[in-house]
Amino acid sequence: MLVTLEAFFHDALRPALPGDVDVVTGPSRGPASTVSRLVEVCALNLKLALPEGEDLAGGREVAFRSGVHRWSANGKQVNFTLPKDIQGEVVELESPPGRPLRQGDQYVLEGNTVRFYRPPAQADIAVVAFLRGERAHGFLERRRCEISLVTRAWAREHGEADKLLSSALAAALLASSDIGNLDDSAPDDSGVRIRLRRPVVTLLGLSRGAEEHEETPFFRAQAEFLIRGEARAARRRRGARAREPYPRGTAALSPGRVPEIFTTKEEVSMSDVVHQKGILDASTDPKQDSYVIMTAAVLGYAWWRLSNGHDCSFDFEIKDETLLRPDNKKALEDDADFRLHRSIVSKLNAALQNNGMATTKQVKVGITPIYRKGSTGNMIIGGSGHEAAGSNERCNPMFPTGTTAEKLFDLAVGNIWVQDPKDQQHKRWALGYQGRGAYTGFITGRPDGQTGLLSTFRHTVPQSGYGRRWHPTTPIDVPVGPGETQKTWGMIGTKALQDTLKTQGMHMDKESIPLVPGRDIVGYTHGMIQAVYDVRWHEARLGKGKGGRPHEIAVGDATTKLASCFPCTLFMEATGFPPSSTHIGRGESWSPLYPDGSTNSQQVCWSQCNAEWHQFCQTVLEKGLACLLKNKGGKSFVHSDYSGSLAALGAYVEKQAKAPRDFANLILDALTVHEGEAKRVEATLVLL
């Protein structure tokens, strides 16, 4: 890598300096007595940051066999097809070399053809594709790194060294503003390949002096640079031979040559995603981490509700409606699930009281309103959650008014029947996701216009710019991988299930872009949350209270509860739309929407809502953690199995979490480990 960097700067400086001045690279003993002027470029060292946590191998990832394919271009061509004998899928594209492109924005992949929107500029090597094949022996490691580089100008005449350096410096600074990814230029069969991602160069300082070399006096002027980037080292396991090592020398520059390198993995831009075993620490258990984080969040939320003058009820989902009949009370009391639910609520109350909550203020065991397919009132209401429990204002909304709203409602619940021209059968026609846990976001009461239905939206979490996120390095339930029985992290179910979810109406983002298991994190934004963003956006234009009311309509055959999931509840409470009812079942890989940083009013509104939610997450997590850490008579409310994760959460909050967003991201990470919140609370807390 040092040699590669020197070569980069050498090529940048060379044209800026007089032709009779030698520009040399590498360590040097200084100028020989036979020269009068000389410029040197020397990369002195590369330092890698240690992996997080105590386990030096904790951040290692699986490696895939991979290769590189290079194409020339004539300036007109837009389609580039991989030759038939090339194995693997394209995971990254650069054009010109060193400049990563964004799939979807600059090109699309259609089978083994890369289709550009604009033709790449003419060049012998115009397009570089990085390919990923089957799993390989070895591993991939990514770590932050720093490189020191120095440029020295030597001259015998006074003032000449300064002149040379000033030309060299201008050229170096210009080039460093435009430096792309760098590959180690001399890959060999040693089993290690290093790639420097997104290097950033900064000038550290200038210095000069007068020295004697070979008994000849010289003036020296030098500039020191610091380069920071992300080094990716891929290592082959000893004994596992490269099938076809990257040839030395010119082969790397010949278009069309596809050396198959032993290993390396798809590359991503500077990433804020931490790849390690546990969410909180490289050595903690990720499931236990998720249990403790969500238990703290549930406790902290309950504390916030109760100490701010609201009731707090976690509503139980009744599957058998007969249990609600007055003559069936005993059967309900005996129902195993219901008993478990009550025990969870008792544990929460005990921990709250230990932390000073008055005994008159208790979390209540509620029953979620029942969903009756196709009937009116099948809605969760955003914004009524501070009304009295059980009141009409809280959970009996008016039927949506206005023709468009009514039609949309019918569409969402599948109340519209159409005759199929193929078989003349009348079929129910529904819009939006109708599968398990199906709710459709819906807005009523806006004076001017109606927003369409908002189904659960699957997308990928941005890898950088939105705070630390976590990706596991050990399998949890469904393993991460490209197979049908595997998944991309965060995904609900397996890869094979995704088509089913799609046919049930789930809206999936940028489907033409294949997910990259091992890198991507999948998230789901529920319809209610999309509705909240939409209402807030219109409020910004129309005034508070005039943007309409967000709802979620229960739809489909597999959904029975009219209650918001816990992560939706946090977001709704934070943004001013507390839900009519909350359950503590699953909110698998729940996600907010990520604004793209642009300044249009919708994106600004998303950022604003997210900021309020971040703040609320910090409030509830900090309070919940305090409750968990407070012992009673020397005994902990946290089951001993979870004490490691509890300590790690305490350390994380104290040392690593810096901004409110870090707290929100912890909750998001915990939700990628799929489990119901009730189960997590039940396992984590003990009753004292």
Chain contacts with Zn ion (rule: CB under 5 A): 526, 565, 568
What residue ranges in 248-362 does DSSP mark as E strands? 260-264, 273-276, 312-316
Q: How far is the CB of 664 from Zn ion (least distance, A)?
A: 15
Q: How far is the CB of 526 from Zn ion (least distance, A)?
A: 4
Q: How far is the CB of 525 from Zn ion (least distance, A)?
A: 9
Q: How far is the CB of 628 from Zn ion (least distance, A)?
A: 24
Q: Which is nearer to Zn ion, 168 or 438 (CB)?
A: 438
Tokens of 634: 């020397």
Cβ-proximal residue to Zn ion, closest one: 568
User: Cα angle vertex 71, ends 70, 73, to 5°?
Assistant: 150
Name all contacts of 353-362 with Cβ < 8 Å and 24+ positions apart.
Answer: 354/627, 354/630, 354/632, 354/637, 354/688, 355/303, 355/626, 355/627, 355/630, 357/303, 357/306, 357/307, 361/306, 361/307, 362/306
Q: Which is nearer to Zn ion, 519 or 586 (CB)?
A: 586
Q: How far is the CB of 380 from Zn ion (least distance, A)?
A: 9
Q: Which is nearer to Zn ion, 495 or 583 (CB)?
A: 583
Q: Classify 467 as helix, strand or coil.
A: coil
Q: Which is nearer to Zn ion, 103 or 582 (CB)?
A: 582
Q: Which is nearer to Zn ion, 312 or 568 (CB)?
A: 568
| Cα–Cα distance list, 150 to 10, 83, 144, 204, 538 (Å) | 12, 43, 20, 10, 55
147 near 1, Cβ under 8 Å?
A: yes
Report the first-to-last Cα separation within the chain, whole angstroms.
59
Q: What is the DSSP string of 203-230?
A: EEEEEEEEEEETTEEEEEEEEEEEEEEE
Q: How far is the CB of 677 from Zn ion (least distance, A)?
A: 11
Q: How far is the CB of 572 from Zn ion (least distance, A)?
A: 9
Q: Which is nearer to Zn ion, 130 or 457 (CB)?
A: 457
Q: Which is nearer to Zn ion, 153 or 568 (CB)?
A: 568
Q: Which is nearer to Zn ion, 290 or 591 (CB)?
A: 591
Q: Which is nearer to Zn ion, 285 or 552 (CB)?
A: 552
CA 302/CA 307 separation, integer angstroms: 8
| Cα–Cα distance list, 435 to 49, 275, 410, 477, 501 (Å) | 46, 32, 17, 22, 7
| Cα–Cα distance list, 647 to 283, 641, 681 (Å) | 12, 12, 17
Q: How far is the CB of 446 from Zn ion (least distance, A)?
A: 22
Q: How far is the CB of 529 from Zn ion (least distance, A)?
A: 7
Q: How far is the CB of 452 from Zn ion (least distance, A)?
A: 19
CA 444/CA 651 separation, integer angstroms: 45
Query: Tokens 């989902």 — which residue?
Result: 317
What residue ranges in 338-493 does DSSP mark as E strands? 363-367, 379-381, 416-419, 426-429, 439-444, 457-460, 469-472
Q: How far is the CB of 567 from Zn ion (least distance, A)?
A: 6
Q: Which is nearer to Zn ion, 128 or 565 (CB)?
A: 565
Which is it for strands 113-116 and 192-213: parallel, antiparallel or unpaired?
unpaired
Q: Which is nearer to Zn ion, 161 or 565 (CB)?
A: 565
Q: Which is nearer to Zn ion, 136 or 568 (CB)?
A: 568
Name the DSSP class of 461.
-
Q: How far is the CB of 316 from Zn ion (least distance, A)?
A: 17
For 474, how many CA atoms within 13 A lie in the half-sphere containing its CB?
12
Closest CA to 313 of 398, 397, 396, 391: 391
Beta bridge partners of 135: 64
Q: At 345, which amino acid appears?
A: V
What residue ranges in 461-556 does DSSP mark as E strands? 469-472, 507-508, 522-525, 549-554
Query: Tokens 């799609």 — which residue?
Result: 502
